[in-house]
Amino acid sequence: MQPAPPAPPQAPHRLPEREPDPAGGTAEAAGCAMPATRRRHPSHHPARRFRAITLALALAGALSGGITAAAQEARPHQQARQVTLEIAEARQLARAANARADYPLALEVSLALLQRDPNDQDALIQAASALIGLGRYDEAVRMARRAHAATRNPAQRVLAARLAASAHFRAGRHVRSEFWLRRAFNAAGDARTRTLLRQEFARVRQENPFTATISLSIAPNDNINNGSAAETITIWNLPFVLSPDARALSGTEAAASIGLNLRLSRGPRHETAIALNLYGRSYELSSESRAAAPDVAGSDYAFAMAEMSLTHARRFEGLPGPTAFGITLGRYWYGGAPYIRYGRAQITQGFELAGGMSASLRLGRERQRSDRAGGALSDISTLGGSLGLPLAGGARLNFDLQAAHTESDDPTADNDALRVQIGYAPQARLLGAKLAFSLGVERRDYPVSVYDPDGRHDLTLSAGARMIFDRIGYLGFSPVLSLETSRTRSNVALYERRSTGLRLSIQSTF
């Protein structure tokens, strides 16, 4: 006997972690225990006649623990007879039939209930569950959609959406399954249900060869053009006054990103995927900046990126974690004009450590070609590592370190950089939101500078705080509020910079 699909609201449906059984998952009666003896039919009481339905069933016998029956279609060799059931009794029979994987009977009883009332919520749920068990997934989706539309009860909407997701999942339609899980999440009213839906979504995503991510944000910023914090600078002991557009201009940034990932192959110890990432941001100058620099527009500082990457991850015998190889080709645009083309190769070795700790090492090489006059080539070598530490109470601490060396046809672009970043995510919430904090330090040295005979030396300090309002949102997308600030000190005053921005973004919490 195949396992039954989920039936009652009290026993929510779980999507399988691996390849699903076409007949479905599990179901429980959840408070629907059958009576020990059969009661006298309510149709014998005229006042209750309209609360009963009549079914053509083939009785297989009455057992001491309840009633065992099956549809005439499923057991044509048994004698059929008219059976009249009270509405509540019929519903109970459908639940019990689903619970013991007697899907034909569950479907027949549910359809009879729906002839009486096409919006019978319990019958719609049981019919959808039975259809999943019978492998009739398209019909199950239609029944679950009817159940979802027929009620405003949050728990019933969650169950109906999960059944639709389950049917799509078993039919191999993972994207539609994810959509219905998001609809279920939208109706979920408690943390336990939302946690369960996140887990189910993660399992569907694991099986889905195609994934997509999207992020939208808007951010007022006091330095959208990465301009200097100084009004006058000294170059070779000569004073200069910076033009307004060389100084920091304030405005508002609007940004969007889209990530598409397609898994090409997967095995017990390997996975190969191709990805497309798109990012763009543009600006609207503040009234003060427009007055100070009337000849420039926010779009002059717009930035865009498009890249494609191929990644192969594999677990090698004797290594403490997965090894990933990646190749990326991409291009940047600045101010609407082509800016840089690049290609990158990277290898990352993961380490799975005891106590919930994780670590990785990465080595990369990138070649950039400028699309500006001269078309200078630059080669960038990087070496980095990260470490994640779980803390008491569910908090987490992350460290990231990266060194980079750049060699270019343009000697003023040669530089060495070292960056350290620390991230902290406490378990505590503020105003119901998850919190995350970051601190960063970067040192960058340019041996050659046209502005100073000793070269150029920059030190950048950055800090950030995020509030993730994952308890509110729509279809699993929630608002994120971020405060970001940075300051760069340089021996060349032109590169002294300060920037502070408050960012509001919409991101998926799954």
DSSP classification of residue 321: S
Q: Rounded CA gap, 208 and 165, in Å?
A: 13
What residues form DSSP beta bridges with 507?
478
Q: Which amino acid is at 434?
A: K
Q: Rounded CA gap, 182 and 198, in Å?
A: 9
What are the φ/ψ torsions at residue 27 (nearest 5 degrees)? -145, 150
Would residue 203 be called left, alpha or beta, if left means φ above 0 and alpha means ψ between -120 and 50 degrees?
alpha
pLDDT tens track of the chain, all 510 residues? 333 333 333 333 333 333 333 233 333 322 222 223 333 333 333 333 334 555 545 333 322 223 333 333 334 444 444 566 788 888 888 899 999 999 999 999 999 889 988 989 999 999 999 999 999 999 999 999 999 998 889 999 999 999 999 999 999 999 999 999 999 998 888 888 888 998 999 999 989 999 999 999 999 999 999 888 888 877 777 788 888 888 889 999 999 999 999 999 999 999 999 999 999 999 999 999 999 889 999 999 999 999 999 999 999 998 989 999 999 999 999 999 999 999 999 999 999 988 889 999 999 999 999 998 678 999 999 999 999 999 988 899 999 999 999 999 999 999 999 999 999 999 999 998 999 999 999 999 999 998 888 999 999 999 999 999 988 888 888 999 999 999 999 998 889 999 999 999 998 877
What are the φ/ψ torsions at residue 166 (nearest 5 degrees)? -65, -45
Kindly state the tokens that stand for 275. 């990805």
Maximum pairwise Cα distance, the chain: 109
Sole residue written with tokens 């340089």: 490
Kindly state the tokens that stand for 357. 């700790």
Residue 168 sits at the vertex; the CA angle it makes with 269 and 160, to the nearest 5 degrees, is: 125
Domains of the chain, each with CATH number or no CATH: 42-207 (1.25.40.10), 210-508 (2.40.160.40)
- Asked whether 177 and 209 are in contact (CB, 8 A), the reply is no
* Assessment of whether the complete model's pTM goes beyond 0.85: no
Rg (CA), the chain: 31
DSSP classification of residue 276: E
Task: Please give, one letter per residue, the 3-state secondary structure of 417-438.
Answer: EEEEEEEEECCCCECCEEEEEE
Q: Rounded CA gap, 82 and 109, in Å?
A: 13
Rounded to the nearest 10 degrees, how much is the dihedral formed by the CA atoms of 158, 162, 164, 170? 180
Residue 75 sits at the vertex; the CA angle it makes with 69 and 78, to the nearest 5 degrees, is: 80
3-state secondary structure of 136: coil
Q: Rounded CA gap, 468 and 509, in Å?
A: 9
What is the reported pLDDT for 264? 96
What is the reported pLDDT for 27? 34
Look at residues 164, 208, 212 and name the one whose alpha carbon lies nearest to residue 184.
Answer: 164
Kindly state the tokens that stand for 176. 């539609």
What is the reported pLDDT for 53? 53
Q: Rounded CA gap, 381 and 349, in Å?
A: 17
* Sequence-separated (6 or more) residues with CB below 8 Å from residue 45: none
DSSP classification of residue 508: E
Q: Rounded CA gap, 276 and 151, in Å?
A: 40
